[in-house]
Structure 1
Amino acid sequence: MAKENYALIIGVVTQDTTITKNEVGDPKNAIIPITSIRRGIYDKAGNFNPEWDNPILYTEDARMIYTMQNVKKNDVVLSKCVLITKPIARKIQCPSCGEIIEDTITVTFLYPVSIKTIYHAESTSAAKEYLLNFDVAEVSNTVKMIGRLTCDPTFTEFGNRCRCNYKIAVNRKLFVAGSQKDSNVTGDLNRMREEERSDYPYVASYGEVARNDYEQLQTGSLIYIDGYLHTMAVDNKIICPSCEEEIRKRAMHMYITPYSVEYLENCKLKESTRNLNKKIEDREKEEVNE
């Protein structure tokens, strides 16, 4: 299967780099939260309407940790990344019975291949002002991905809007530091475990793209996405095993939201969506020019 997992991010660092050390004091990982802006800072009516997202840069690579430790709050960074998904264990106390519940969520991170500080501002507002430059905003949040659906899509309408959600499997193009090896099974130190060869990000499409997705996609469909990273807070439901209390735990989730989707294999309809997506893009251009 063809591989594509690419993200280009220009963002404002919202706090100094957090570095976690192991038991002997060596750096284990580094995390940088950033704020990026979506392209198209004006809405279809021509009103100034910038939209912001808050992805997280994460690495366990020693070279990249060394680079990231020098990044400071209010720096504007340019980073070429791949998307990775990582299971995170957490403990939650039931508010009703006090039971400690062990839960695991899958978190999507940006794994930087390179990172560079391109501007340092004295304040967060000044740093955000830098992102509002049209040429910066146009490329501030860019994702290109080839993946295969792991489930059938779901479709939701709310008001005059609609959304399609699904999950994709994306083959890794490079080795991600911290990935587990299956050397205990195969003796091959360079062979990753099966579950470490792919990542599984969620996709949320909107509008006409969502309608096309729902009509054409199914489990096993292979697609190419040109889009951006979309972060939003989601309430996860957890059932206490002791008292069956439903607990809602809010977490920030990162989705891929497509500008367009190209349907490559195993889709429901035979009509090429290169034409469909071109129609969408042409229609959007016409609306902007009206």
Structure 2
Amino acid sequence: MSRHNEIILYGKMHKDPLIRLTDDGDFVMARFSLDTIIGDRDMQSYVDKLRYQQPWILARDSEIIEKISDYHKNDMIYLKGVLTTQEIIKRPTCPNCQSPIPIDKANATYITPIFIKRMEQNVTDAQALELLKDSCEISNQAMIVGTLCRDPQSFTSKKGKTTTNYQLAVNRKYFIKDGDPMVKTDYPWVRSYDKIAKNDAEALSTNSEVLIDGFINSRIPTRKLTCEACGHSFDWNDLPVLEIIPYSVEYLKNCKSLEEIDKEKDELAENLVDQILKE
């Protein structure tokens, strides 16, 4: 399987980074998020319709963490990294009785920086917006090659908007310092929309290999939980979810061609006509 997993971000640091140290003062982890923007490539002017995204970054490399420890809210940061997944156990607690709520294991998704640099310091929101507009193409960029782990799931809303979701297996191209050397594959999710979603649903299946040019979407899903101990129900904010939204999807291997899709549609139509005539 081909290997490519590259994330480019340029954005304003949303808050001061969270830095964790050992008792001896050694750097262990840095976590922060960046305010990035994406444009609409279908529009004549790329920056006429801007949307903000706030991907979060987690670093475990001590040299990179040392750099990040000097960064602050409102600094403009440029980084190159990889989209990383990690299996974790979620441990929410009931706000009523403080009892733990059992939750299945899940994959946390974050960006691991392999290069990072502060470009500007302590900018205003207005200055940040102008800088981001000028660098819109690279503010939030994802280039991923992966193989589908399962068949895609497609949904069409009442308004006719189609969404297709699928999970990729992405072989690691870079060695991640202080990471588990036995882990060599990440499993991010892709969410495509409209025409791309319809094409994905028809062309892709388990073991299809794709090249995605897109951006990182960040969202915080809310789940309804019920405490088994006291019966209290409450809304719980899940971990932030990072998913890839494609601008385009190139079908590399084990994908149906347009000719095959058209042939299947013709055969389906013929079978439907035959069934109607038999009735």
- Tell whether the 8 Å contact from 1:42 to 1:50 is kept in structure 2 after alignment: no
CA distance in 1, matches of 2:74, 2:172: 31
- Tell whether the 8 Å contact from 2:17 to 2:30 is kept in structure 1 after alignment: yes
TM-score by length of 1: 0.79
Aligned to 1:147: 146
CA distance in 2, matches of 1:90, 1:178: 22
CA distance in 1, matches of 2:211, 2:2: 10
CA distance in 2, matches of 1:154, 1:140: 29
Aligned to 1:11: 11
RMSD between aligned residues: 2.6
Q: After superposition, where does 1:30-69 map in structure 2 within 5 Å?
A: 30-40=30-40, 48-69=48-69
- Tell whether the 8 Å contact from 2:39 to 2:46 is kept in structure 1 after alignment: no
> Post-superposition shift, 1:261?
0.8
Deviating more after overlay: 98-107 vs 76-85: 98-107
> Post-superposition shift, 1:124?
3.1
- Tell whether the 8 Å contact from 1:42 to 1:49 is kept in structure 2 after alignment: no
> Post-superposition shift, 1:81?
0.9
Per-residue CA shift, 1:39-64, capped at 9, x if unaligned? 33895799932101000121100111
Aligned to 2:25: 25
Aligned to 1:286: none
- Tell whether the 8 Å contact from 1:10 to 1:139 is kept in structure 2 after alignment: yes
Unaligned runs of 5+ in 2: 261-279
Q: After superposition, where does 1:278-289 map in structure 2 within 5 Å?
A: none
Aligned to 2:133: 132
- Secondary structure of residue in 2 paired with 1:101: coil
Per-residue CA shift, 1:69-104, capped at 9, x if unaligned? 121111111111111012343322235775312434
Instruction: Give the 3 Å change call, closer, same or farther, for CA 95–216 of structure 1 in structure 2.
Output: same
CA distance in 2, matches of 1:70, 1:47: 31
- For residue 262 of structure 1, the aligned residue among 207, 231, 250 is 250
CA distance in 2, matches of 1:257, 1:47: 18
| Structure number with bigger Rg | 2
Per-residue CA shift, 1:185-226, capped at 9, x if unaligned? xxxxxxx32xx1111111000110000001111111111111
Unaligned runs of 5+ in 1: 181-191, 274-290
> Post-superposition shift, 1:148?
0.8
Work out whether 1:219 is the aligned partner of 2:191. Answer: no
- Tell whether the 8 Å contact from 2:40 to 2:47 is kept in structure 1 after alignment: no
What percentage of aligned pairs have identical amino acids?
29
- Tell whether the 8 Å contact from 1:56 to 1:110 is kept in structure 2 after alignment: yes
Task: Tell me the number of residue pairs that the alignment of Structure 1 and Structure 2 aligns.
Answer: 257
Displaced runs of 4 or more, over 4 A: 41-47, 95-98, 237-248
TM-score by length of 2: 0.82
